[in-house]
Structure 1
Amino acid sequence: MHQEGAVRNGMGSNAANVSFASLASFKDKAGMKGQRSTLQRWRFACGNMSYRVKLLTGCVVVLLALYCTSRAASIIGWDDQYPEVRSGSPRHRYTVLINTWKRYELLKKTVAHYSSCSNVDAVNVIWSEPQPPTKELHSKLTEVTERNQVEVRFNINKVDELNNRFKPIAGIRTDAVFSVDDDLVIPCPTMDLAFSVWLSAPRSMVGFVPRMHWPKQSDAQKHGREEYTYGGWWSVWWTGTYSMILTKASFLHKDYLDLYTNTMPSSILNFVKHERNCEDIAMSFLVANVTNASPLWVKGEVHEIGSTGISSLSGHTQHRTDCMNYFVEIFGHMPLVSTRVKATDASEIWFW
């Protein structure tokens, strides 16, 4: 009995020893695992930190490369400005013609903007309202333009009609005029680009708003008559083809103002007057008839700061189509020449 109890006590003691040993071993293993886990977390954190440092370094290198690339021309000594428009002579400057109608706040913004462009010689406001501009408006515009050392003039018309925007203006010192609506703002660098393009082809219309005439298959062609459909922006965007540059934002030679007013068929002038539309198409017909060449579209920013115009009205495309076909009938042929050429600033394109 005593031996059996001793054996049992021995077994209990051994079990306790085994239990304590197992617990100690477990704690040691747990401690080792904890150390390993901490080490792994540290290595992972270091790895992430290394990755972040590499990523940050890579971004810095890319930014430095972009900066150096943009400054390379200046550092090397290459002049990336448009050399043609640097002269201070009137021939190498242009006059802005702003067509406006009772939108005085817009007029103030556009006059202030265009008078700030370095190659502008003067700003002429085409005024066709029944009442002359107020002294306050005149004073405000004069204040802005004098600050930019540019003269502003009002060309007062007694009758309100769209042909007014192309009347010859006495005292213009420049060959180039830029015809623009009072709700369009084009950045000065983009204006410089377009003006440099115009200087290379001063008898062409050069601008930012292209349109197209599309031959129309109809019974009229069977009888020897030509008919066309007016193609708006989306047709130009889809095909890349255009034949007109709208005078809402276009450079042209000042001689075309005289030709439009004094040589354009009176039936077309009367049509524009009564329909209050299509004066820009008529000018495109005139220039194409003189040059037998296409206009030139310049890629650039065009910001519309006013509300939508007549182009958003129902039936606009059909109305413009009717204009074109009537002008073709008067001219006796279609003078417009289509093209897919587009001028762009090569310094803004890396792969070309």
Structure 2
Amino acid sequence: MTTIIGSRDAVSTGSDLYSPAKEKAATRGVYSSRSPFLLRRIRILLGSVKVKLLLSLCIVFALVFFASRIGSLMGWNPHYPSSASSLSRGGYTVLINTWKRNSLLKQAVAHYASCNGADAIHVVWSESDPPSDSLKAYLRNIVSSKSQSAHKPNFRFDLNKEDNLNNRFKPIEDLRTDAIFSVDDDVIVPCSTLDFAFIVWQSAPSTMVGFVPRMHWLDVEKNGVPYYQYGGWWSVWWMGTYSMVLSKAAFFHRMYLDLYTYKMPSSIHDYVTRERNCEDIAMSLLVANATGAPPIWVKGKIYEIGSSGISSLQGHSNRRNKCLNDFISLYGAMPLVSTNVKAVDARQKWFW
């Protein structure tokens, strides 16, 4: 303050030349001495507002997140709304493979009948005795009652005289759709997830699109002959790559039913019949050999409602390794193509 008063005295007495610039600089000095305190107060206020805003946003996001997840925490909701009613190409045909598990078959048929994208439901029946009239009547009534659209899915059994895993890929007459969704009787895919996979398949209808990825890799090579390993889910998780999707829950084009039955080497048919295993590997090799492209893995929660199958039996991995290498020797080359692409529904993700 002393300096400021002195400058004013100099102006009033004329002892020094008057300078407007000096007076403005001197006056500015008054506020410059106060400005750090004002800026500090403003920063503190703004900081507290930011913290409160961030906390509020975090609470809101947490509430929305838990609200969206509460359904999945409670378990599978078989009647989750389906959006496939507007999908093109006539929807898809659900092809259910079953074997002496009528209770599971009833659950599977009831669920897939509720999916609006299902144009037809076919049950591959390979038991020695045909389905009973009561079972057929029950399932027809279920399809009619569970369907949520005006167009009721066409339902029927595809009967086979012998028990053979090749039966699940026999051509079907009078199909109205190009898309086949092949599924086991103990696998449930929510309708919304199934509809999304169908959309993905429409973008690449010549390949397989499914929910159960598997992989292969070159293990050793002896005397110029390569030996490959078959990798299950944990191998896919660890390596981040895959080259097959299993037909226990996968879309493919109807033309592959004809190719599998009439064009694939009969030696592979005989192998599947004899070993009662690996028809899914055979189909993956067939599609890869025809397209030269990898399959597409769709990320989505699926539910296995039955007891453990043949994959839980001792020696299953060794049998799958043997199947893979025997099939490759019959093809004379390795047709499988590896990829790390995964289809994800961005509507179900916070960040993408």
TM-score, scaled to structure 1: 0.76
- The higher radius of gyration belongs to 1
Q: Note closer, same or farther for the CA distance 1:341–1:63 as it changes in structure 2 (3 Å cut).
A: closer
2:298 alignment partner in structure 1: 298
SS in structure 2 of the partner of residue 130 of structure 1: coil
Query: Is residue 138 of structure 2 the alignment partner of residue 140 of structure 1?
Result: yes
For residues 309-328 of structure 1, the C-alpha deviation after alignment (integer angstroms, 9 at most, x for no partner) is 00001110110100011111
How far apart are the structure 2 equivalents of 1:258 and 1:336? 20
Cα displacement (A) at 1:226: 2.0
SS in structure 2 of the partner of residue 269 of structure 1: helix
SS in structure 1 of the partner of residue 262 of structure 2: helix
How far apart are the structure 1 equivalents of 2:213 and 2:56? 43
Deviates more, 1:140-149 or 1:332-341: 140-149
How far apart are the structure 1 equivalents of 2:253 and 2:195? 16
1:153 alignment partner in structure 2: 156
Matched-pair contact (CA < 8 Å) for 2:120–2:153: yes
Structure 2 gap segments, 5+ residues each: 1-51, 69-80
How far apart are the structure 1 equivalents of 2:336 and 2:224? 18
How far apart are the structure 1 equivalents of 2:288 and 2:298? 18
Cα displacement (A) at 1:92: 3.5
How far apart are the structure 1 equivalents of 2:87 and 2:169? 26
1:115 alignment partner in structure 2: 113
Look up the equivalent residue of 1:197 and give its one-letter code: V
1:214 alignment partner in structure 2: 217
1:93 alignment partner in structure 2: 91
2:104 alignment partner in structure 1: 106
1:189 alignment partner in structure 2: 192
Look up the equivalent residue of 1:246 and give its one-letter code: L
SS in structure 2 of the partner of residue 319 of structure 1: helix
How far apart are the structure 1 equivalents of 2:61 and 2:211? 32
How far apart are the structure 2 equivalents of 1:198 and 1:176? 8
1:322 alignment partner in structure 2: 322
1:233 alignment partner in structure 2: 233
Matched-pair contact (CA < 8 Å) for 1:97–1:178: yes
Q: Note closer, same or farther for the CA distance 1:236–1:157 as it changes in structure 2 (3 Å cut).
A: same
Identity %: 58
Cα displacement (A) at 1:301: 0.8
Deviant stretches of 4+, over 3 Å: 57-61, 63-67, 85-89
How far apart are the structure 1 equivalents of 2:160 and 2:344? 37
Q: Note closer, same or farther for the CA distance 1:82–1:345 as it changes in structure 2 (3 Å cut).
A: farther
For residues 257-298 of structure 1, the C-alpha deviation after alignment (integer angstroms, 9 at most, x for no partner) is 000000010110000001000000000000000000000000
Cα displacement (A) at 1:150: 1.7
**TM alignment of 1:6-45, pairs within 5 A:** none
For residues 41-98 of structure 1, the C-alpha deviation after alignment (integer angstroms, 9 at most, x for no partner) is xxxxxxxxxxxxx9xx95996169849x99xxxxxxxxxx999x54466x23000000
2:265 alignment partner in structure 1: 265
SS in structure 2 of the partner of residue 126 of structure 1: strand
How far apart are the structure 1 equivalents of 2:165 and 2:239? 30
How far apart are the structure 1 equivalents of 2:60 and 2:97? 46
SS in structure 2 of the partner of residue 97 of structure 1: strand
Query: Is residue 335 of structure 2 the alignment partner of residue 332 of structure 1?
Result: no
How far apart are the structure 1 equivalents of 2:113 and 2:337? 33
Matched-pair contact (CA < 8 Å) for 1:218–1:227: yes
1:173 alignment partner in structure 2: 176
Look up the equivalent residue of 1:247 and give its one-letter code: S
SS in structure 2 of the partner of residue 217 of structure 1: strand
Structure 1 gap segments, 5+ residues each: 1-53, 71-80
Query: Is residue 290 of structure 2 the alignment partner of residue 287 of structure 1?
Result: no
2:349 alignment partner in structure 1: 349
Equivalenced residue count is: 281
SS in structure 1 of the partner of residue 226 of structure 2: coil
Matched-pair contact (CA < 8 Å) for 1:86–1:92: no
- Root-mean-square deviation (CA), in Å? 2.3
SS in structure 1 of the partner of residue 220 of structure 2: coil
Q: Note closer, same or farther for the CA distance 1:184–1:63 as it changes in structure 2 (3 Å cut).
A: same
How far apart are the structure 1 equivalents of 2:85 and 2:330? 42
Query: Is residue 196 of structure 2 the alignment partner of residue 198 of structure 1?
Result: no
Cα displacement (A) at 1:251: 0.2
SS in structure 1 of the partner of residue 306 of structure 2: coil
Query: Is residue 224 of structure 2 the alignment partner of residue 224 of structure 1?
Result: yes
Query: Is residue 250 of structure 2 the alignment partner of residue 250 of structure 1?
Result: yes
